[in-house]
Structure 1
Amino acid sequence: MTTGKISIAQHYHERTKYDPKTIASKSHGLDWSRQPAVFKEYRLGISFDLKPYLTEKSDEIANSSEDNWWQRLSRLLFCTYGLTAKMLTMTGEPVYLRAAPSAGGLYPAEVYLISRGTPLLPAGLYNYQPKTHSLIQFWEKQVWTELQTACFWHPTLNNTQLAIVTTAIFYRSAWRYQDRAYRRIYLDTGHLLGNIELAGALTDYRPHLIGGFSDRQLNELLYIDTEQEGATTVIPLADLLDPQQNLPLAATALPSGIDTNYPRIADGELIKYFHEATEISEESKKIEDTNQSSLEDKYNFPFCLKVSTKTEPINWGEHQELLENTILRRRSTRAYNGANLTLNELKALLDFTYQPQHYIDQNFDIAPDYFDLSLIETFIAVSGIDGLEEGCYYYAPKAQELRQIRFKNFRRELYYLCLQQELGRDAAATVFHTADLKTAVAKYGDRVYRYLHLDAGHLGQKLNLAAIRLNLGVSGIGGFFDDQVNEVLGIPTDEAVLYITTLGRPR
């Protein structure tokens, strides 16, 4: 057994760091004969076609309350994970892009829908099929009580009729990224959560996040092969057009145990062991409200440059029509031209991502669910922002200001630590999300590693969409030299770097 005192979450993070001295030995050629499929297929089941309901006015459907219900559900799922583009590879094979970004285009997440039984959607289990934009009912039976039991009788399931469950098919991402794939899987799922939050505003649904559930019971409920796939989140959908479903906020996260007595784990087995170690298996849990965690503003030095980020909200158009358009046309930028952004553009990006209360007049959710944002810190390396000195800044969301903590241009270092990707070098600003992993584990156990990456991906997706709305370039980066990021930011070596988002003007 290991003699280390650190938890399995800390061990996993340390072990999956990229380091310049060892990355070559960890890299391997991709076995294209074992490339995983990115769509899940069911041989049996009843299909519900959602394509006719993608537009508000369709010649194929009448304008009725039933049609409106289907339109809302269709738009919600399409804006969350629908196919938005088709490309052909050099071999002529099609590659499909989705509304939510995924590292390497591998799309490890699966989206399920559980119906309690509505007049239009019978009770049972459904898998969302992005390729055909349809729901396939693979289990026709009332399972809502089993869902409530698996979620420890979470109060948001009392009156809701629909719930999304996301899972991960681990090998889809591990095929390329090996043991580090677990990070990317949860970042990718976080992108989904960002889409669900905003698509809910478009369709009059309020998604409620649940991260604390019995993994074993939920996996059994969905009939998934736990050697290949595992549940990651539960998202009850409160219908805002039904007064009984206008629900108060409730807890999103529950703690797991802390494993410090793990064996030596072989390469390739780390994801499976770590996922199982972060499961919650107790029959019941006391749910405490974690939505009220205050965001502590740090790095408040009296001598540092402080710049207010207060600004006018981004205009998403009448009835948010520009939001849906932005979600569907979002693409990750492949190259920047090195030109500067304006300070007002950076302020707008931060405002939309971190200050949802400013968007109440545009009918956005002013308090969307996260797992615990108080654990996540945001730093910005500024390389080219008009009106802002170069250097590294800490973003203080409560005070709505940037605080300069380092004073130099880091383009060269950013190019290096982003695995020599030109995106790091040519970006005008680079956003880093980090967390004190030891403190986070003490609060939520090893399961916090899921929560941290889900929240970081959620924030990253809101940055993505704000940038696209402003016609800027944006690209998330999950592969980087971890310790070198800490050196650039000037933060302790045990601060875990979760995610990087580069921002600039597209080439």
Structure 2
Amino acid sequence: MSPAGNRAVEAAREYHDRTTHSYASVRQSGHSLDWDTKPFLYKVYPDLPVTPLPREFPQPVQDTLGAVNAFRGAGGTLTLEILTSLLFFTAGLTRKKTYPGGGEMHFRAAPSTGALYQTEVYLVAADLPGLSAGVYHFSPGDFCLRRLRDGDFRSELSAAALDDGIAASAATVVLTGIYWRNTWKYQARAYRHLFWDSGTMLANLLAAAGAMGIPAHLITLFLDARVNGLLALDSDKEVSLELVPLGSAAAPAVSAPVEPISPRCLPLSSSEVDYPLVREIHAAASLVEPDEVKAVRASATGVPRSVPTTLLALPEPLPVAGRPLGETIIRRGSTRQFSGQPISARALSTALFHATRGIPADFLPGPGHRLVDLYLIVNAVDGIASGAYCYWPEAHGLEQLQAGDFRGQAGYLCLDQALGSDASAVIFFLAELGPILERFGNRGYRLANLEAGVIGGKCYLAAYGQGFGASGLTFYDGDVVRFFSPHARGKDALFVTVLGRSVRGAPGIEVPLQIAKK
């Protein structure tokens, strides 16, 4: 890939095309996993000052569905205890499972492709009772913050994002992605996963903040190198992805000076494989000058959509799930096997409705606006005929594209995985990348994948809140588009979420981590 700036959109097109899956490409890749170099799942700073987080913190007790579709929190005060809760329900270690033979799996609050957890969490905070102002890394393994910088750096982060609200926030969460954690298994396609997985984490964070009354919104447009420098990232290996300001506090008069630092990190594995294509697409989608940030942000305008007049009306969605958000997140885990049994039309209606009520983000002008389209294969939903559909959030209805039993096709499209054929419903996220790249430049590629990840994460929460399962899958790109064509002609496949009834998991001893309620 040739060096390119954000407006040289052939870079995103080239990356997408070179990382598409087909039946042939998957079988001819020759890639195998080197278990001796599997990356460690936690980033370790051995020399930084440690701040243990309180073990007693409030849980988000609002009903799951109300929290999922909350657009912004409402004026609550961010305390250390509430901040701790938000960190836990976004990226915390929720339980461990030990398998016969001694294998152990750690489960976190949000799912991750391959359970590789390449998304790291940082914090740029003002002075809070019990926490001094500074730049911190959140370590879910020992549930601590480690201080990278001492002082108030909110103005520096605000300048990097050209957003005054950051300087007036009590703290800003910064999500980053470590390439090698995911490229180890998924090679160059892993760049897409950075946004799927950070998107599902953001679904948790925004829902938890809304449930606890903490104002929160998503910032995706910023000067990448400046944020990376503030966090002292090795940007050949780890990069900033998204920012989420939380709460409010008096803005600092001036930022502390940002001196270069190089805190020591333990290596993730004995060796790493470099994937230049990943670094190149990230560089091509990075914003370098303030005017670029302004120009891309100005592109966040509404695009009219022509909703079909004839749609299958869905049942009225449930207003509540009957399960608090905190309990839903703790009990959540990506479903590994579906029973093939149906869910109700109202259950599907509820998940779709609450997942698509909007994202408070700087690339969207408000609720009712979106970049991605949702296509479905309905396998087993009581009250809805099996077939292929397009979902229209604006009217909360389904456009039937083709009737019939497509279980076999659903499994095939999901990379020949039984999860696709055994699910009750399969949601395919597609987008017309051409106009998106024209509006946002290469950054638009990140935004489209991220939006799909956030909506997919909301589907997870809405499903588990109602008592059934969900999982995220990869797919054969071109075959997905062809299956839904001519309706989907000209679009690209981005992500898949499957919903359905789970079967009992593999044998093992599962130990939920104890959370002290406050």
Q: Classify the TM-score, shorter chain.
A: 0.7 to 0.9
Counterpart of 2:482? 487
Cα distance in 1 for partners of 2:333, 2:105 equals 14
Counterpart of 1:434? 430
Residue 83 of structure 1 contacts residue 130 of structure 1 at CA under 8 Å; is this kept in 2? yes
Residue 197 of structure 1 contacts residue 207 of structure 1 at CA under 8 Å; is this kept in 2? yes
Change (3 A) 1:126 1:163: same
Write the mapping of 1:60-459 to structure 2, written as runs, cut at 5 A: 69-88=79-98, 92-152=102-162, 154-239=163-248, 268-284=275-291, 285-286=293-294, 288=297, 293=302, 296-298=305-307, 300=308, 306-309=311-314, 311-317=316-322, 322-355=324-357, 368-369=360-361, 371-372=363-364, 373-459=369-455
Write the mapping of 1:52-63 to structure 2, written as runs, cut at 5 A: 52-55=55-58
Cα distance in 2 for partners of 1:151, 1:35 equals 34
Residue 316 of structure 1 contacts residue 323 of structure 1 at CA under 8 Å; is this kept in 2? no
User: Which one-letter code corresponds to 2:154 in the other structure?
Assistant: W
User: Which one-letter code corresponds to 2:347 in the other structure?
Assistant: E
Change (3 A) 1:214 1:396: same
2:31 is the counterpart of 1:28: yes
SS in 1 for 2:145: strand
**Which of 16, 19, 23 is the equivalent residue of 1:16?**
19
Residue 424 of structure 2 contacts residue 499 of structure 2 at CA under 8 Å; is this kept in 1? yes
Structure 2-normalised TM-score? 0.82
Residue 208 of structure 1 contacts residue 238 of structure 1 at CA under 8 Å; is this kept in 2? no
Q: How many residues align?
A: 455
User: Which one-letter code corresponds to 2:161 in the other structure?
Assistant: C
Residue 415 of structure 1 contacts residue 424 of structure 1 at CA under 8 Å; is this kept in 2? yes
Residue 470 of structure 2 contacts residue 498 of structure 2 at CA under 8 Å; is this kept in 1? yes
Deviation at 1:121, TM superposition (A): 2.1
Moved more, 289-298 or 137-146: 289-298
CA RMSD of aligned residues (A): 2.6
SS in 2 for 1:80: helix
Cα distance in 1 for partners of 2:325, 2:142 equals 23
Residue 295 of structure 1 contacts residue 374 of structure 1 at CA under 8 Å; is this kept in 2? no
Cα distance in 1 for partners of 2:397, 2:111 equals 29
Change (3 A) 1:278 1:459: same
Cα distance in 1 for partners of 2:281, 2:158 equals 25
Residue 42 of structure 1 contacts residue 138 of structure 1 at CA under 8 Å; is this kept in 2? no
Cα distance in 2 for partners of 1:370, 1:475 equals 27
Structure 1-normalised TM-score? 0.84
Cα distance in 2 for partners of 1:345, 1:370 equals 31
Cα distance in 1 for partners of 2:317, 2:488 equals 35
User: Which one-letter code corresponds to 1:278 in the other structure?
Assistant: A
Cα distance in 2 for partners of 1:378, 1:426 equals 19
Cα distance in 1 for partners of 2:171, 2:78 equals 16
Cα distance in 1 for partners of 2:279, 2:393 equals 36
Change (3 A) 1:78 1:295: farther
Cα distance in 1 for partners of 2:100, 2:445 equals 38
2:22 is the counterpart of 1:7: no
Residue 374 of structure 2 contacts residue 391 of structure 2 at CA under 8 Å; is this kept in 1? yes
User: Which one-letter code corresponds to 2:408 in the other structure?
Assistant: R
SS in 2 for 1:196: helix
Residue 115 of structure 1 contacts residue 144 of structure 1 at CA under 8 Å; is this kept in 2? yes
Cα distance in 2 for partners of 1:150, 1:410 equals 48
Q: Give the structure, 1 or 2, with the largest relative contact order (CA under 8 Å, sep 6 or more).
A: 2
Deviation at 1:98, TM superposition (A): 0.4
Cα distance in 1 for partners of 2:500, 2:418 equals 12
Cα distance in 2 for partners of 1:282, 1:6 equals 17
User: Which one-letter code corresponds to 2:399 in the other structure?
Assistant: R
Cα distance in 2 for partners of 1:353, 1:225 equals 35
Cα distance in 2 for partners of 1:413, 1:316 equals 31
Deviation at 1:227, TM superposition (A): 1.5
Cα distance in 2 for partners of 1:162, 1:374 equals 27
Residue 378 of structure 1 contacts residue 433 of structure 1 at CA under 8 Å; is this kept in 2? yes
Cα distance in 2 for partners of 1:370, 1:97 equals 31
SS in 2 for 1:28: coil
Counterpart of 1:50? 53
Change (3 A) 1:6 1:162: closer
Cα distance in 2 for partners of 1:295, 1:470 equals 33
Deviation at 1:327, TM superposition (A): 1.1
Cα distance in 2 for partners of 1:428, 1:39 equals 35
Change (3 A) 1:132 1:51: farther
Cα distance in 2 for partners of 1:416, 1:149 equals 47
User: Which one-letter code corresponds to 2:111 in the other structure?
Assistant: P
User: Which one-letter code corresponds to 1:345 in the other structure?
Assistant: A
User: Which one-letter code corresponds to 1:286 in the other structure?
Assistant: K
Change (3 A) 1:267 1:324: closer
Cα distance in 1 for partners of 2:398, 2:136 equals 45
Cα distance in 1 for partners of 2:306, 2:382 equals 25
Deviation at 1:453, TM superposition (A): 1.2
